[in-house]
Amino acid sequence: MRQTYLTALLFTLALLSVASLVRAQTQSQRPPDKPKKGEDQQRKTEPDATVISIDTNEVLLPVTVRDHAGQFVPNLKAEDFIVYEDSVPQPISSFALKRLPVNVVLLIDTSSSVARELEDFKEAAYRFAERLDPQDQISLIKFDDKVELVQDWTKSRAALRRALNRLTTGMFTKFNDALWLTAQEQLNHVAGRKAIIVLTDGIDSGRGYTRAEQAFRALVEAEAPVYAVSKTRIQRNAEQRELDFYQNTSASRTLDQIKIDGIKTYLATLDESERNLTRMAEETGGRIFLPRSFDELGDAYQQVADELRSQYIISYSPTDAARDGRYRAIRVKLKDPAYHATTRFGYYAR
């Protein structure tokens, strides 16, 4: 009887273990939840929000042009540009300097690592919004333990100010989930010019559902340049000071050596994060900014606002009209070799 009871008990435990494993695997494979909305936040876009329609067969390119000194180049004409898709020249169908309003997602890291500087972040983000054109729409998404839509699309800077004041911090950093959801959910509801401004160190805590490459693919599909204001240099400076302290004192002690090894590992993580953010910004047609102190945040946001105001908007209808889902590489050149054009690296023909 005792042997029969033990056999039944072991069989029951085995079934429970299998059920738990299946449930865990299912959860790990599901996509991240949609951004949680703030308590007083509505999903509907404001009634007066600008809706911009373009030919779905056209490719819209925000293009930034600088000279060798890094200054914006104004007053260029369509004939000054050559657009290539998969190395084939494309006929430009429309051309303008900042003709279309831009839909900007402010994506802010509110994990525990920014708790002390959150007020600085709020002020820098608001000053950035004030520098945009009145017709530009803004939405605000925060990410820490969860991804939350704090403010849906609005032209009201007062509404954005109230949303920024509601920001609070969490513990972890679901960075990849935030990127994926911003691209798939928030930017999926608007047409025309788009941009993402993200303030982060780019380090994902690994507690979300999205891998880095999935997030990157979603950003490319959203056709939105990413402007990354990275905290990596600020954090690296702080960690390096601590590392110097331990190395110049009693580094021979076992406890100190453990601390030194941990700091070195974190510095390597920051380096990798900076490389990933740089790739993300460059390939989507944006830029990365690496302020060395929180006092420089305002300047970084100012540069983003200046670039959005100074872009040329080029549209073209691809000579290869097939919507085959294939990735098409884009390159924009200026006939004057003294000028350099920046735009996204490509798009998926869907």
For 225-243, how does the pLDDT look when each residue is reduced to its tens digit (9 = 90+)?
Answer: 999 998 888 888 888 888 8
Query: Which DSSP symbol is given to 79?
Result: G
Query: Which DSSP symbol is given to 322?
Result: -
Kindly state whether residue 39 falls inside one of the protein's structural domains: no
Tell how far CA 99 is from the center of its chain: 24
Pull the structure tokens for residue 214: 């999935």
Helices (H), the chain: 2-29, 118-131, 157-165, 175-181, 212-222, 232-247, 254-284, 297-309
What confidence tens digit (pLDDT) does each residue in 129-158 have?
Answer: 999 989 999 999 999 999 999 999 999 999
Expressed as residue numbers, the domain containing 323 is 59-98+311-348
Number of domain units in the chain: 2
Which of 62-76, 178-192, 248-262, 265-279 shows the lowest mean pLDDT across its residues? 248-262
pLDDT value of position 326: 94
Q: Which residues of 253-278 are buried (b: 16+ CB within 10 A; e: fewer)?
A: eeeeeebbeebeebeeebeebbebbb
Dihedral Cα 112, 275, 289, 146, nearest 10 deg: -30
Does residue 23 have a pLDDT over 70?
no
216 in the same domain as 68: no
Kindly state whether residue 170 falls inside one of the protein's structural domains: yes
344 in the same domain as 217: no
CATH number of the domain encompassing residue 141: 3.40.50.410
128 in the same domain as 189: yes
pLDDT value of position 38: 52
207 in the same domain as 152: yes
Pull the structure tokens for residue 124: 């820098």
218 in the same domain as 301: yes
332 in the same domain as 289: no
pLDDT confidence bin for 51, thresholds 50/70/90? very low
Is the pLDDT higher at 132 or at 25?
132
Mean pLDDT for the stretch of residues 340-348: 96
79 in the same domain as 188: no
SS3 for 9? helix
What confidence tens digit (pLDDT) does each residue in 267-304 have?
Answer: 998 899 999 999 999 999 999 999 888 778 888 988 99
Kindly state whether residue 1 falls inside one of the protein's structural domains: no
Kindly state whether residue 331 falls inside one of the protein's structural domains: yes
Mean pLDDT for the stretch of residues 146-171: 95
Q: Which residues pair with 327 in a beta bridge?
A: 348
- 222/108 Cα distance (integer angstroms): 19
Kindly state whether residue 259 falls inside one of the protein's structural domains: yes
Does residue 22 have a pLDDT over 80?
no
336 in the same domain as 240: no
Kindly state whether residue 121 falls inside one of the protein's structural domains: yes
332 in the same domain as 218: no
Does residue 109 have a pLDDT over 60?
yes
139 in the same domain as 72: no
Kindly state whether residue 320 falls inside one of the protein's structural domains: yes
The whole model's pTM is what?
A: 0.81
153 in the same domain as 297: yes
pLDDT confidence bin for 253, thresholds 50/70/90? low
Kindly state whether residue 53 falls inside one of the protein's structural domains: no
227 in the same domain as 80: no
